[in-house]
Structure 1
Amino acid sequence: MTAGSTGQIVGVVIASLLVIGSGIGMSVYFGRKAKSSKDWLTAGESLPLVVVIVTQFATATGGGVLIAHVGIGYESGWSVFIYEGCVLVGFLVLMLIATWLRQQRFTTVPDIITKLFGRHKLVTAIAALAALVVPFGWLATQFVAFAQLFGQLTGVSPTALILLIMVASLLFVLPGGLTSVAWTDFVFGLFMIAMSLGVAAYAVHLAGGWGHITATLPQRLWGWEGLTAAGWEQIWLWVAAILPGTLTNQLYYQRVFATRKVSDARRGLGLSGLTMLVGGVYAGCIGLSVRSMNPGLANEEDAAGWLLTQLPSWLVIVFGAFLVSTIVSTTGAALQSVVANLIRDVYQNIAGKQQGERQTVALSRMITVGVSVLAAVLAILFPKALTWLVATYAYSAAALAAPIFLGYVLHRRRRLTPVAAIASMLAGIVGCAAAQLLDTTVPYAVYGIAASAAVLLVTALATPGKPGAPVRSEQVRERA
């Protein structure tokens, strides 16, 4: 995509600033409700069901849906629904433990591990690292995605754009932490859903209507066969890669922790999963429409950018606002999640520091600034090297999936100890690394999860005692 006309550039800049400004205004307004560190970390367990549903959608829909998923639609038609369906299935699996998660009043994923296995600083440290690398990776890569998309459209330098999105993300989070992020994401999420469906419909119209698309493209893309057009090997690779990442992503758990009613925890996940299919409609319709109009793209991920060059100026401007709302929703959520780990797990649980409510909120804001600046510096200095952060999904899932889900299944049947958690998480990381070095066909996260589950089972079966038996005296002292 090349830079647009002067009028388009000015319009996109004004629309972007309006979106950012409105988001900041909403963040400040809703941030007034955040009076305590609990409001900062878990939104005070105050989010209504509809807010949970939409904010989950806004958080999950980032640059990947805007660019990569449209590429899947271009290349493989309705197979993009399989990709989105993997997220839906992940949410359905999370529903199995959602009520328990909400009842326990957790703040971060490491809280779950320590509840199941007992409190231990090394358990918390490993779990915290595995939980925070994914949202930090999201934060840095979304900075890069914003700079790339708007750099091509406006001609503004990537550094300036990264600094702009960094400041916007800070102003979204600083007023009230998760309280600010969730309510702002709710409003932006509604806009994103409407824009996704509207742009998809316009793309089909631009291509001459659905009848023209079906007349110019093979049925294997747009018919029922399109669901498997990517090929079974690719589909199973998606299942193996996406499901574990969804099941261990702290961003999704935090919305469960923040529901107003315990009964909303399960329903929120199920309905949130269904909203993910909106991304499939958006990506599939645009991908097929662009392929009908221009089947000769060298790179399928250029499909979204090529469509922008065909849109009228007014729609380019509105679409620019859509892009901004999508990216800042993800960056704000990711930033708050990282800060929650650092405050709850590192500062309070590992370092053992406790302060008053005002001091904790003030420290949260200071850490928010520091994390955001670090992510911006990495995005500026290493914009291409950040692709390695994709691996954080695999290692995070390898370390956390078995302790969370298998641990939940076993905790009423076997005595689980911190040693079991440490062994399981380390086995997952080592298994993941070994499979990566061997360059296995199946995503290396699967091997890591399998190793983690095997070690956890063996350790749990070999540990004497009844479920809920007291931990050793040194662990009791550490807990105190």
Structure 2
Amino acid sequence: MPGNSTGQIVAIVLASLLIIALGALLSMYFGRRAKNSADWLAAPESLPLGVVVITQFATAVGGGVLIAHVGIAYAAGWSVFAYEGCVLLGFLGLTLIARWLREQRFTTVPDIISRLFGHSRPVTALAGVAALIVPFGWLATQFVAFAKLFGELTGISPTVLVLAITGGSLVFVLPGGLTSVVWTDFVFGIFKIVMSLVVAGYALHLAGGWSGVTEQVPERLWRPSGVTAVGGEQIWLWVAAIVPGTLTNQLYFQRVFATKKVSDARRGLVLSGLTILVGGLYAGCIGLAVRAMNPGLGNPEDAAGWLITRLPAVLLVVYGAFLVATIVSTTGAALQSVVANVIRDLYQNVLGRDRGDRGTVALSRVVTVLVAALAAALAILFPSALDWLVASYAYSAAALAAPVFGGYLLRRRFSLRPGAALAGMLAGVVGCAVAQILGTTVPYAVYGIAASVLALLVMLLPGLPGRAVAPVTADSDELLPATKS
């Protein structure tokens, strides 16, 4: 139980409720821009460049940065920027296809595969599941991260906290789907950037300034060369695990789909990747500052929780609001992304159902509540057993990377058919599973992606380059629906 007074706890709770109420008001206001189900699911061609950049930051910087990244900095100093750099590499990789993605007016990642390889229910079903497991994993783990961090502040039961953050996530999504999520993320993202810098600066102040850090922390961690202090092997493991996960994360794709101008598609990703480095600065400063003040923490990931107990009353209250804004903005985005897959890919494209605009929005809201309830139940019942969800990154990347990027690169030289996409995705999943069972040193996602690429190429070998052409929907200026066979 934290040593905060009852008055401080009440103030923290009230500040948090104020943030959630503000989020609800913003969501309802911006949700009025959602005129139909397309706006609810994808917010097509609606986001200015500034909004794209900030909402990508708000989505990416969540509980992982608050806990795990601070732990990396505590143990390995500026090596946290090596981790953030892998995310930046992923964003830069997405720029290779960003313009094409924006021009094709997609809604979800399976739409991309359907456009490239042709419509197939098995392909759409497998791609839909592969695309939704990452945002669902984010959703559940963000709930757990919030319960742990906010529990340090208030001593409130984890169950109550998970239910509270679930409600906060719902008020972000229900009014207007992605339209309300991205605009609310924009407002909260600015707050998160400002608070990241304030808290990082105060942590350094507590440690006696930068000179206090340099006196107490090993030089190899705080020098610029400290970016490699974690070791080359660990950095390459991060590259192998994080870059593919970023390249196939539907949360990032959706913001590209929604850019107002085609010319902003690439620019938005580059600028978004640079803003992610703010999260690295936040984590790095706090990790190093806590290392200077308390070098004997048994678990590096306890560094953020330890700092919380040293904050003055006013900053503690504001920090509580910062935690809520950080977690809710990420969970709202993840929740909406899962629902988009369920409705667009599984309900409409696989089952062939269509309720019209009003019916689709109503069903989307029902599914939103059900998905949130399932994630909350997992977070409450198995708070220490959610590590398996990390595997979702590997399996999702192994299933989707080759069909999306390989299909894009080969679309003009080969006739792409659904069977090739299905073979590539299945090979990726099997390759991941085999490597995981064998306990390989290299992340098993790499083996999965390699198997997927090999299977895709084998399926395409019978077709000679230049002899067959890709389906018209892959490059045609006439943007046909991805579901059309």
Identify whether the pair has TM-score above 0.5, normalized to the shorter chain: yes
CA distance in 1, matches of 2:164, 2:219: 44
Q: Quick check: 1:120–1:479 contact (8 Å CA) kept in 2?
A: no
Q: For the Cα contact (< 8 Å) 2:44–2:105, is it kept in 1?
A: no
Alignment of 1:49-448 (within 5 A): 49-448=49-448
- Of residues 34-43 and 248-257 in structure 1, the stretch that sits farther from structure 2 once superposed is 34-43
**Structure 2 CA distance, aligned partners of 1:271 and 1:93?**
13
**2:25 maps to 1:25:** yes
Q: Tell me the SS of whatever aligns to 2:44.
A: helix
Q: Supply the distance in 1 between the matched residues of 2:146 and 2:217 (Cα, whole angstroms).
A: 32
User: What is the rounded CA distance, in whole Å, between the counterparts of 2:243 and 2:301 in structure 1?
Assistant: 23
For the residues of structure 2 that align with 1:255 and 1:2, how far apart are their CA atoms?
39
| TM-fit CA distance, 1:420 | 0.3
Matched residues in 2 for 1:308 and 1:370: separation? 33
Amino acid across the alignment from 1:120:
S
Match of 1:468 in 2: 470
Is residue 153–residue 320 contact of structure 2 (8 Å, CA) maintained in 1? no
On the 8 A contact 1:220/1:226 being kept in 2, the answer is yes
Distance 1:448 1:3 in 2: 48
Deviations along 1:316-370, whole A, 9 cap, x unmatched?
1111110100000011000100110011101111111122211111111111111
Aligned-partner Cα distance in 2 for 1:379–1:463:
48
The offset of 1:470, in angstroms, is 7.9
Aligned residue identity for 2:321:
A
3-state DSSP of counterpart to 2:441: coil
What 5-or-longer segments of structure 1 have no aligned partner? Answer: 472-477
For residues 402 and 240 of structure 1, the distance between their equivalents in structure 2, rounded to whole angstroms, comes to 15
1:131 CA displacement: 0.1
Q: Which runs of at least 4 in structure 1 moved beyond 4 Å after TM superposition?
A: none
Query: 1:479: Cα distance to partner?
Result: 4.1
> What is the rounded CA distance, in whole Å, between the counterparts of 1:152 and 1:76 in structure 2?
24
Q: In the alignment, which residue of structure 2 is the partner of 1:474?
A: none
Distance 1:357 1:438, change over 3 A: same
Please give the alpha-carbon distance, in whole angstroms, between the structure 2 residues aligned to 1:217 and 1:8: 32
Mapped to 1, the partners of 2:279 and 2:216 lie a distance apart of 24
Do the aligned residues in 1 keep the contact of 2:152 with 2:305 (CA within 8 Å)?
A: no
Cα distance, 1:15 vs. partner? 0.8
CA distance in 2, matches of 1:35, 1:270: 30
Q: Using the alignment, how far apart are the partners of 1:113 and 1:457 within structure 2? A: 16
Paired-residue identity, %: 71
The answer as to whether partners of 2:12 and 2:317 remain within 8 angstroms in 1 is yes
Aligned-partner SS, 1:462? coil
Instruction: Give SS of 1:44's match.
Output: coil
Deviation at 1:212, TM superposition (A): 2.1
What is the CA distance between 1:463 and its match in structure 2?
Answer: 3.3
Q: Is the 8 A contact 1:125 1:350 kept in 2?
A: yes
Residue aligning to 1:15? 15
1:119 Cα deviation from its structure 2 partner: 0.6
| Deviations 1:30-72, CA, capped at 9 Å, x for gaps | 0111110111011132011000000000000111100110111
Task: Judge which range, 66-75 or 347-356, deviates more.
Answer: 347-356
Q: Distance in 2 between matches of 1:42 and 1:206?
A: 44
Cα distance, 1:436–1:212 mapped onto 2, change above 3 Å: same
Alignment correspondent of 2:479: none
| Matched residue type, 1:273 | G
The structural deviation recorded for 1:462 is 2.1
Tell me which amino acid in the other structure corresponds to 1:196. S
Cα deviation, 1:241-261, whole Å, max 9, x if unaligned, reads 100100000000000001111
Q: Residue 480 of structure 2 corresponds to which residue in structure 1?
A: none
8 Å Cα contact 2:94-2:247 kept in structure 1? yes
CA distance in 2 between counterparts of 1:208 and 1:18 reads 33
Select between 406-415 and 101-110 the one with higher mean Cα deviation.
406-415
Q: More displaced, 359-368 or 445-454?
A: 359-368
C-alpha separation in 2, matches of 1:365 and 1:38: 14
Farther-moved stretch of structure 1 (172-181 vs 350-359): 350-359
Q: Indicate how the Cα distance of structure 1 residues 413 and 293 shifts in structure 2: closer, same or farther if over 3 A, else same.
A: same
TM superposition shift of 1:469: 5.2
Paired residues of 2:31 and 2:175 also in contact (CA < 8 A): yes
Give the Cα–Cα distance (whole angstroms) in 2 for the partners of residues 2 and 240 of structure 1: 39
Amino acid at match of 1:82: A
1:258-306 per-position Cα deviation (integer Å, ceiling 9, x unaligned): 1111111110000000000001110111111111111111111111111
Report the more deviating stretch, 281-290 or 351-360: 351-360
CA shift at 1:152, angstroms? Answer: 2.9
* Cα pair 2:117 2:471 within 8 Å, conserved: no
Give the Cα separation in 1 of the matches to 2:129 and 2:255: 20
- Count of matched residue pairs: 475
With the length of structure 2 as denominator, give the TM-score of the two structures: 0.96
Amino acid at match of 2:130: A
